[in-house]
Amino acid sequence: MRLVKVVGSITSTIKDPSLEGFKILLVQCLQTDLKSREEYFVAVDTVGMGEGEIGLIVTGSTAKRTVRTRKKNVDAALVAKVDNIELEKNGQS
Amino acid sequence: MRLVKVVGSITSTIKDPSLEGFKILLVQCLQTDLKSREEYFVAVDTVGMGEGEIGLIVTGSTAKRTVRTRKKNVDAALVAKVDNIELEKNGQS
Amino acid sequence: MRLVKVVGSITSTIKDPSLEGFKILLVQCLQTDLKSREEYFVAVDTVGMGEGEIGLIVTGSTAKRTVRTRKKNVDAALVAKVDNIELEKNGQS
Amino acid sequence: MRLVKVVGSITSTIKDPSLEGFKILLVQCLQTDLKSREEYFVAVDTVGMGEGEIGLIVTGSTAKRTVRTRKKNVDAALVAKVDNIELEKNGQS
Amino acid sequence: MRLVKVVGSITSTIKDPSLEGFKILLVQCLQTDLKSREEYFVAVDTVGMGEGEIGLIVTGSTAKRTVRTRKKNVDAALVAKVDNIELEKNGQS
C-alpha cells in the first residue's frame, strides 16, 4: 500500500463501463513526515474519503479485489482512511 | 489509473495478433497542474481519444480486462476521457 | 523482494474488511549498505516485525499469496525478518 | 506498452527451461523524440526484431500471454515493430 | 527481465514457509555497459548463481511461475546466468 493525500477529484462521462458509480480521486504520495512527493495516482474511492484526507491506496491487480471493486477495471483504489501514523524516532506525527 | 495527455500515435504492421484493430497512442503522464512529466506509455485506445486530449490509463493486468481489451495482450489502455479536474486548493483547473 | 526497515505503524478504523486484524507497518527501502532510500511502502506484517527491524517485503499480487494474507486485498507484505546480510566485497554488514 | 530500441542481445546456456528457443534482447526505453532514456529491459522477441530497430514491449503478466510466450516465464516481450510515430506538435518523426 | 549482478546474500530464519529452501540473493541492476545502477532487488536463486556473477531476474507474478518457484510467494527470481552480452555499437562487452 502507499500513503497518500486526496488532492482533487476527476469527472469523466466517456469511460469504461466498470468505472461507473465510483468517485475518482487524484491522490498524491506522501513521505513519512507527511510531506508530499511528486508521485500521483488516480484512484477510485472505496471508503468515503474527502479532499485533504490521508489514506492508503492499493495498486495493481489487488485494486480490483476489494469488496466494492470486485471485477472492476481499476488499478488503484483507496482502501483505508488513516487515523494516526506513529513514527519510530520522531514520535507521533 | 494515471492522468495522461495523448501526444502522438504509432503505426505498426508487424505485431502480436491481439493488437490488431486498436488505435495505439503515445501518452504522456501529467502533474496535477496538467504540466507534463517525463514519463510515457504506449496505450491502446478504448474510448475514442484524440491527440491533445486528457484521459486516464490503466496499466498492468487491469489493462486487459476492459470491455474492448478482454483477453488482449496489452499492458496499458486509455479507459476514460477527462472532463474536469477539481483541485483542493487551486480551484478548478 | 525488497530490503526494508520498519519505521512506523499506521492505525485505521475505516478500511477494507480484508485489512482487519493486520498490523499495518510503514517500511522504508534500504540500500545494500543499509542506508535508507527515499522509497516507502505500507505493508501488512506476516512475521511479527518490530519497529527498527530489518526485513523483506513482497509487493504486487504475490503479497496476497502468503499463508496469512491469502485472498486478502494487500499489495505489500513483510514476509521475512533478516538475520544477516553478507556482501560480496565489504564483508559482513 | 513502452517504446524501445533494440541495443543488444544476450546469450545464456544455464536458464529456466521456459526461456529456451527465444532470442533474448536488450532494449532501451525511448522518449517521444526517440532519444534514449536510462531505462533498460531484457525482453524476449516475438516479432523478429533486429538490433537498432524500434518496437514496443509489454511488461508484467501480459508478457506471458502473447501467441509465442503463452505460459512462458517472461516478464517483458517485444510485441510490435514500429513503422511510424506521428507526434501532435512536431509532425512526423 | 532485468540484467543484474549478484552482490550479496541474505539469511533469515523467521520467514514465510514458501521461502524455505531457497538461496536469497541481493542483486543490483546493471546498465548495458555493466556499470551498476542504484536499483536493488532481493531475488531467490533458481539457476545456481554465485556472488559477482551476472544474470537475469524476472519480477512480479512471473517470478512464481518458474519450475523451482511454482506457487512460491516470491516476486523476484534469478532465471538465467548470462554468458555474453553483444552490444549494437560497442561490440562485445
Please give the angle made by the CA atoms of E2, E8 and E12, to the nearest 5 degrees.
105
E5 neighbors E84 (Cβ within 8 angstroms): no
Q: Quote the distance between the C-alpha of residue D39 and its chain's center.
A: 12
Q: Which parts of chain A have pLDDT scores under 70?
A: 90-93
Cβ count within 10 A of residue D31: 12
The pLDDT score that the predictor gives to residue B49 is 96
Q: Are A41 and B2 in contact (CB under 8 A)?
A: yes
Mean pLDDT confidence for E43-68: 94
Task: Say yes or no for a CB contact (<8 Å) between A80 and C15.
Answer: yes
Name chain A's partners: 3 or more CB pairs within 8 A.
Answer: B, C
- Residue in B1, B48, B65 nearest the CB of A76: B1
> Does E11 sit within 8 Å of C82, measured CB to CB?
yes
Give the Cα separation of D51 and A4 in Å (integer).
42
* ipTM rounded to 2 decimals: 0.91
Residue A67 distance to chain B (closest CA, Å): 17
C-alpha grid cell, residue D31: 522518449
The alpha carbon of residue E29 is apart from the nearest alpha carbon of chain D, in Å, by 10
Query: Which of the other chains make 3 or more beta carbon contacts under 8 angstroms with chain B?
Result: A, D
| Chain D residues inside the 8 Å CB shell of E81 | 12-15
Q: Which CATH architecture has domain B2-86?
A: Beta Barrel (2.40)
Distance, CA of C93 to CA of D8 (rounded, Å): 36
Pairing of strands D91-92, E2-11: unpaired
Whether the per-residue pLDDT at D92 is higher than 50: the answer is: no
On average, the pLDDT of chain D sits at 92
The whole-angstrom separation of Cα E19 and Cα C18 is: 24
E28 Cβ under 8 Å from any chain C Cβ: yes
Q: Is residue B61 within 8 Å of D61, Cβ to Cβ?
A: yes
Contacts with B56 (C-beta within 8 Å, 6 or more apart), sequence order: A10, A12, A15, A24, A42, B1, B2, B3, B4, B78, B79, B80, B82
Name residue C54's beta-bridge partners. C5
Chain B CB within 8 Å of residue D72 CB: no
Class of domain D2-92: mainly beta
Minimum mean pLDDT among C24-28, D35-39, E73-77: which range? Answer: D35-39
- AA letter at D67: V
CB contact under 8 A, B60 and D61: yes
Is B63 part of the contact surface with chain D (CB cutoff 8 Å)? yes
Which chain C residues touch A55 with a CB distance below 8 Å?
12
